[in-house]
Amino acid sequence: MKIIDLIKCSCVTLFFYSPLAFSASLVIEDGILLGATNIDINGVAYDVSFVDGSCIDLFNSCDNNSDFFFQDVTLGQQANLALLEQVLIDTSSGAFDSFPALTNGCKFSGFCSIYTPVSVETGSDIFGANVAVNHQLDSLDGYTGIQANVGLSSDFSLGNELDNKTYAIWSQTATVPVPPAFLLFASGLIGLAGVRRTQRAKH
């Protein structure tokens, strides 16, 4: 293999180790969509889990903005859009777009609403959430801005038999470090290529 080919292979490998090179991976158990990893939101990778329960139990009492991963309404909306475009999709592992009930916490296939809490009203137990709605009909899919006006209290619980809602618990994807040995190998190849080029120039 020529030096230049080795360098190309090294660059490709380095690219795939880079945290910028990611695509969403669905987390599925017994055919149910539990969440996803490596969701791209503005060039940053995030993970999400879909969980039933109450806001007060899932989000550290649900009484302070710092209890929520996203505290910016716009970023919360972008997270919801990413769910609709990258996670709630039909794949060979399941028709998670066409059949919303396959998402953890949702009970029937008409639609599924996924709540991402983003803020708490000062001096109250009312929280606001962005909501992604995955509908059986693609034309009705959507995501909302903050919903504080509907009066969601901190004990707002999802998971009863009749609701079709679930909470989204977000975190930032842990970056995969580039192995130091590989970096040393790649820099050595580049240096070797430079020496070869210098030698050719002299001849």
Residue spans per domain, the chain = 19-172
For residue range 130-160, list pLDDT tens digits in order.
Answer: 999 999 999 899 988 776 445 578 888 876 6
d(CA 112, CA 140): 11
Question: Measured in whole angstroms, how far is the alpha carbon of residue 193 from the centre of its chain?
Answer: 40
pLDDT over 50 (residue 81): yes
Per DSSP, the chain holds a count of helices (H) and strands (E) of 4, 12
**Tens of pLDDT along 101-128?**
999 999 888 999 999 999 887 777 788 8
Mean pLDDT of 74-99: 95
> How high is the pLDDT of residue 15?
41
Residue 42: C-alpha distances to residues 3, 18, 130, 163 (Å): 36, 16, 17, 31
pLDDT at 158: 77
Helix H or strand E segment including 26: strand 25-29
Q: What is the mean pLDDT of the chain?
A: 80
pLDDT in tens, 8-38: 444 444 444 444 456 999 999 999 999 999 9
* Span of 8-17, 58-67, 145-154, 163-172 with lowest mean pLDDT: 8-17
CA dist., res. 69 & res. 89, Å (int): 24
3-state SS, residue 92: coil
Percentage of the chain beyond pLDDT 70 is 69
